[in-house]
């Protein structure tokens, strides 16, 4: 049991470092998906440990919400790309003083 949770924590950490480090908006999004997947793994592992399927249902809901989030997020990135011609997170800086 411990090993599944430790693996989930490692994947989550790698995803969070990716969100902080990468510049391409789509790769940042992929690292967010990695973090969501890591938490899904922890949920399913705890479902096995506690003996009921609530963890798996929660993981199912996380997957659905992640799908909806990816749809809207990628549509936003595409809209920004159409006007700014760049997918870099550094270029969306109009609100900077």
Partner 1 sequence: MTVFWVSAPIMVLAALGLLVARKAVHAALLLAVVMVGLSGLYLSLNAPFLALVQVAVYMGAILMLFLFVLMLVGVDASDSVVETIRGQRLMAVLAGLLLGAIFVIGLAQASFGVVVGLDDANADGNIQGIANLLFGRYVFGFEATSALLITAAVGAMVLAHRERLEPKATQADLAARRMQDYAASGKHPGNLPTPGVFARHNAVDTPALLPDGTAAEGSVSRVLAARGTVRSAPAMADDIAGIEKQLGQAPHAGRDQSAPATTEEEAPTT
The torsion defined by the Cα of 38, 40, 45 and 51, in degrees rounded to 10, comes to: 170
Report in angstroms how near the CB of residue 34 gets to partner 1 at its nearest: 6
38 Cβ contact list (under 8 Å, min separation 6): 8, 9, 10, 11, 12, 15
Report the nearest approach of partner 1 to the CB of residue 1 (Å). Answer: 5
Pick the closer one to partner 1 by CB: 88 or 94: 88
State the burial class of residue 15 (Cβ atoms within 10 Å of its Cβ: 0-12, 13-18, 19+).
Answer: buried
Taking residue 25's Cβ as centre, other Cβ atoms within 10 Å add up to 21
**Least distance from C-beta 91 to partner 1, angstroms?**
9
**How near is the Cβ of 35 to partner 1 at its closest, in Å?**
10
């Amino acid at each position: 049991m411990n090993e599944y949770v430790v693996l989930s924590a490692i994947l989550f950490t790698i995803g969070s470092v990716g969100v902080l480090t990468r510049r391409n908006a789509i790769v940042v999004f992929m690292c967010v998906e990695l973090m969501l997947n890591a938490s899904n793994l922890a949920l399913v592992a705890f479902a096995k440990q506690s003996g009921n399927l609530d963890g798996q249902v929660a993981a199912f809901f996380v997957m659905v919400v992640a799908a909806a989030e990816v749809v809207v997020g990628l549509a936003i990135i595409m809209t920004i790309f159409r006007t700014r011609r760049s997918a870099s997170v550094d270029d969306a800086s109009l609100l900077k003083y």
